[in-house]
């Protein structure tokens, strides 16, 4: 199948703590994964990506981990800030004669001050 | 920073009417997409477009939907005869590559069918 799903619909963390958002994917042929952030009333915003030949990729305060053995993706946000409050989607880039990205269900992150 | 621009931000239409949603992708991007998001739900793929033709489309993108790149800058989504269930946020996106590239999304058009 070509589903990308999330383990938890909501996550609440204290400001300053680290956040971990998890995602499972089912298409073992996918070779590119992306995390998007969506704030209220806005379109999804690219955060970080990872190709299937990598296990880990780091950005500014964010890290994506890919475990191909169990088809699991995670997004780690260091020192979570109130501005990180949003819905986070993992997405899977598929190419089968065409181009499309499939989004997971989303996890809402609440940051408590 | 380059942006994807969508107009209008909100469109209200009567059931059965035709609507055209407009998008201006990032100028040097070659791949264009439409997605929709029903309130509180996930972002659903509708169609991808490259080299002046549809590259891939989902089951949602039936005969009532069409896309067009009428000139060098605009990318439009037309719904011929709107249904109540077409009410959603519609997002346009563009990318510089077809696979292995993140997308830049616009802020969306909220379509309300009454």
Task: State residue B101's pLDDT score.
Answer: 83
In a domain, B72, yes or no: yes
Which of B102, B106, B107, B108 would you mutate first to test chain A, the one with the most A CBs within 10 A? Answer: B102
In a domain, B70, yes or no: yes
Query: pLDDT per residue over B1-38, tens digit each?
Result: 889 999 999 999 999 999 999 999 999 999 999 999 99
No. of H helices and E strands in chain A?
Answer: 0, 11
**Given A43, A49, A103, which is nearest B102 (Cβ)?**
A49
* Number of domains, chain B: 1
* Model confidence at B113: pLDDT above 80: yes
Residue among A61, A55, A60, A64 at smallest CA distance from A77: A61
CATH of the domain at B71: 2.60.40.10
| Whole-number percent of chain B with pLDDT over 70 | 100
A93 touching chain B per CB within 8 A? yes
In a domain, B56, yes or no: yes
What is chain B's alpha carbon radius of gyration, rounded to the nearest angstrom? Answer: 13
pLDDT tens-place values along chain A, 113 residues long = 445 554 458 999 999 999 999 999 878 888 899 999 999 889 999 999 999 999 999 999 999 999 999 999 999 999 999 999 999 999 998 766 567 889 988 999 999 98
**Given B91, B103, B108, which is nearest A46 (Cβ)?**
B103
Cis amide linkage into residue B6, ω under 30° from 0? no
In a domain, B105, yes or no: no
In a domain, B111, yes or no: no
Domain extent, residue B49, equals 17-95
**B45 with B35: CB under 8 angstroms?**
yes
SS3 B110: strand
In a domain, B5, yes or no: no
Whole-angstrom Cα distance, residue B49 to residue B34? 9
Compute how many other C-beta atoms are within 10 angstroms of the C-beta atom of residue B34: 25
**A93 with A34: CB under 8 angstroms?**
yes
In a domain, B102, yes or no: no
Whole-angstrom Cα distance, residue B68 to residue B73? 11
* CATH match for A4-112 among 2.60.40.10, 3.30.70.2740, 3.40.50.1370, 3.40.309.10: 2.60.40.10
Q: What's phi and psi for A82, nearest 5 deg?
A: -55, -35
Dihedral of alpha carbons B39, B43, B44, B45, sign: positive
Contact B99 A41 (CB under 8 A): no
Closest-CA residue of chain B to A47 = B102
Task: State residue B72's pLDDT score.
Answer: 80
Contact A99 B100 (CB under 8 A): no
Whole-angstrom Cα distance, residue A93 to residue A102? 6
């Amino acid at each position: 199948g070509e589903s990308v799903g999330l383990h938890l619909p909501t996550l609440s963390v204290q400001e300053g703590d680290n956040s971990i958002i998890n995602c499972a994917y089912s298409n073992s042929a996918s070779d590119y994964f992306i995390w998007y952030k969506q704030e209220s009333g806005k379109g999804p915003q690219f955060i970080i990506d990872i190709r299937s030949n990598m296990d880990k990729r780091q950005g500014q305060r964010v890290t994506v981990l890919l475990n191909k053995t169990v088809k699991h993706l995670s997004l780690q946000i260091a020192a979570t800030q109130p501005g990180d409050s949003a819905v986070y989607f993992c997405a899977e880039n598929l190419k089968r004669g065409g181009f499309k990205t499939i989004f997971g269900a989303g996890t809402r992150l609440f940051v408590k001050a | 920073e380059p942006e994807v621009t969508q107009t209008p931000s909100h469109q209200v239409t009567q059931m059965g009417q035709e609507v055209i949603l407009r998008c201006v992708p990032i100028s040097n991007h070659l791949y264009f997409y439409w997605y929709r998001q029903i309130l509180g739900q996930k972002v659903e793929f509708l169609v991808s477009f490259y080299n002046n033709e549809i590259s891939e489309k989902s089951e949602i993108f039936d005969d009532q939907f069409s896309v067009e790149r009428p000139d060098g800058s605009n990318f439009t989504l037309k719904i011929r005869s709107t249904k109540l269930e077409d009410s959603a946020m519609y997002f346009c996106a563009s990318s510089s590559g077809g696979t292995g590239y993140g997308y830049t999304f616009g802020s969306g058009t909220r379509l309300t069918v009454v």
